[in-house]
Amino acid sequence: MEAALQSLSWRVAEMNLKAHILVDLSNVFMGCRRLPDGGYDTQQRLDVERFSQILCHGRRVGTKMVVAPPSVSSVSLPANRHWQAQNFRVVNRGQAPARTLLDVFGRDRPQIMVLCTGDGSYVRTVRELLRLGWRVELRCWRATCNGGCTEFANNPLLRGFFRICYLDDVRQQITFQQLVLEGSSRFGITDMPPSPPQPRVPSPLTVALTAQPATPEQDDCLVCLSAVASCEYLPCRHRVLCTRCAQQLLQDLRDTRGSELGSGQRQRAWMACCILCRMPWTSISPAA
């Protein structure tokens, strides 16, 4: 009975309030590859069109935004055309940190925030949105859901204002297995231009490997999603970056060095942690 009343409360809210949608690309993409049996499949892909349909179904939709990892080049990747085709605005993490949600929506009258992430860096933002009277719907994978998010769901005072909808329940509808055939495009786009030569960036931490197209036996870079993840963070040893994105990350860190309080410092703090486990890293090196 209680669950039915809560569901009815949300349906009434969805009829009268506008829903703003934000997708944390890294978290959603990473969770997509973690299988229910505990395995990890690098060929798993998100069906962006079906995912968007599920998020928007039965709602009055307002802003639709996808937050990509903090790489300037990632915003214009051909793979992001899928999101743009669904009328999502694609920005990088440096342009839209979690706090920006409050800057953009905090002055509006309370509505519905559909937040597609389980990243713990959004917990404070969720707490503030709830304090302002917003309804927050979290869409995430069980494997990548931060414990702080489940605390909101277990709080009886927040029933009717916060809920978690696990993407695991619709996995078969929103994911597919990418098969890379010889001579075909990884994303089904035949007009993708060839990758330009990768220049060497002079830096103590410059990686000497060249980014190459990923194969089914290799993990993709979690930033660009289109090259081999050939570099790893130390000391956690998570191999999640290609050479180009590792070099861009190091350059971005140098560019934000000495930033005053504000977005520059928040961006630097985000980039200084592994994008997979959020552990601070000391160096980036080619994977063994």
Q: Which residues contact 30 (CB under 8 A, 6 or more apart)?
A: 144, 222, 276
Instruction: Name the segment(s) of the chain with CATH classification 3.40.50.1010.
Output: 2-176
Listed as ranges, residues in the chain with pLDDT below 70 are 1-10, 70-79, 93-108, 179-218, 256-270
Residue 23 has a pLDDT of: 92
Residue 101 has a pLDDT of: 63
Q: Which residues contact 158 (CB under 8 A, 6 or more apart)?
A: 130, 152
Residue 86 has a pLDDT of: 93
CB 223 within 8 A of CB 69: yes
User: Strands across the sheet with 231-234, in order?
Assistant: 239-241, 231-234, 283-286
Overall CATH class of domain 202-288 = alpha beta
pLDDT tens, residue by residue, 74-96: 555 666 788 889 999 888 765 55
Residue with tokens 């560019």: 255
pTM for the model stands at 0.64
Overall CATH class of domain 2-176 = alpha beta
d(CA 79, CA 158): 37
- Residue 7: count of CB within 10 angstroms of its CB: 12
Residue 179 has a pLDDT of: 58
Instruction: Name the segment(s) of the chain with CATH classification 3.30.40.10.
Output: 202-288
Residue 218 has a pLDDT of: 55
**Cα dihedral across residues 27, 32, 35, 36: positive or negative:** positive
Q: Which residues contact 125 (CB under 8 A, 6 or more apart)?
A: 98, 99, 101, 102
